[in-house]
Amino acid sequence: MPLRLLVVDDEVQILELLALTLELQGFTVTPARSGPEALAALEDRPLPDLIVMDVLMAPWDGFETVRRLHACFGERLPPVVFLSGLNRPPTLPAGVTCEYLVKPFRPSELVACLRRLARPES
């Protein structure tokens, strides 16, 4: 069964490119163009296996979006891969399993990161 992803980015072209790239790699993608849209997308569906989250967005940045998702779903929130053109911040949201990829990155890097997070070391 393919892994289900929530992919959040406020730039429509990047969101479409990410969705297409990930779908071609066998993932099932639910796109969202903002933090509020991401929250709404999860209210009436099963949680995805993983979340791909842009950092620089409005009205909520990626970190605020994840904090709000974590407030709603707690420990059930799946791992998150943050995408940003900025260097990795010193701290990432507490209580969330996450990775941080700096743009530009190769699609294969994102896919490898997602697959690694989907199979945590036991």
Residue range 47-106, pLDDT digits in tens: 999 999 999 999 999 999 999 999 999 999 999 999 998 887 767 777 889 999 998 999
* Residue type for position 28: T
**pLDDT band per the 50, 70, 90 thresholds, residue 7:** very high
Beta bridge partners of 84: 102
Residue 116 forms part of a structural domain: no
Q: How far is CA 67 from CA 22, 59, 60, 77, 83, in A?
A: 25, 14, 10, 10, 16
42 within domain boundaries: yes
* Residue in 28, 26, 33 with CA at minimum distance from that of residue 5: 28
pLDDT at residue 33 tops 60: yes
Residue 81 domain-assigned? yes
Percent share of the chain, pLDDT over 70: 97
What's the token pair of residue 49? Answer: 């296996």
Q: For residue 29, what are the β-bridge partners?
A: 5
Position 10 pLDDT exceeds 80: yes
Specify the pTM. 0.93
Q: Could you tell me which of 15, 104, 95, 93 has the C-alpha nearest to residue 52?
A: 15
For residue 122, what pLDDT is reported? 40
pLDDT of residue 120: 65
Q: What is the pLDDT, as a whole number, of residue 95?
A: 84
Domain membership of residue 118 (yes or no) is: no
Which range of residues forms the domain containing residue 82?
35-55+69-95
Domain count, the chain: 1
* Average pLDDT value for the chain: 92
